Amino acid sequence: MRIAITSQNRHEITGHAGRCRNFWIYEITEGVSSEIKGKKLLELPKEQSLHEHSRGQPHPLDVVKVLISGGMGPGMQQHLASKGIRPIITSETDPDRAIDAFLNGSLPEKEPSQGCGCTHHAH
């Protein structure tokens, strides 16, 4: 399983998932005890940010099952869910701590209304 985390500055979980172009991609073993197998940085050009990308076209993030961010609007959450990607908004700022917390069920999640609040993601 792969999990993506928005990290525009490559150090912290950043908000506005739709505009983010840098994502940490974690490869997770699935089974009784999930563990991190690997971590790599995915750097996208501006035209492949989720906000700019054509919705009907394949996207490099289509392979992930979960996308964790500091913020995203309801339209982006719906778009991700329609692709089978679980959107999570969290107050955690450290990507590695967020993955550990997600895997052990303790990741703090914000309500969708606490996302970026914009409506322009629902294209």
User: Hey, where are the domains in the chain?
Assistant: 1-45+78-106
| Ranges of residues in the chain whose predicted pLDDT is under 50 | 114-123
Which pLDDT score, from 0 to 100, does residue 32 have? Answer: 76
Which pLDDT score, from 0 to 100, does residue 27 have? Answer: 97
pLDDT tens-digit series, residues 51-75: 888 777 889 999 999 999 999 999 8
Which residues 6+ apart lie within 8 Å of 76 measured at CB?
17, 18, 50, 51, 87, 115, 121
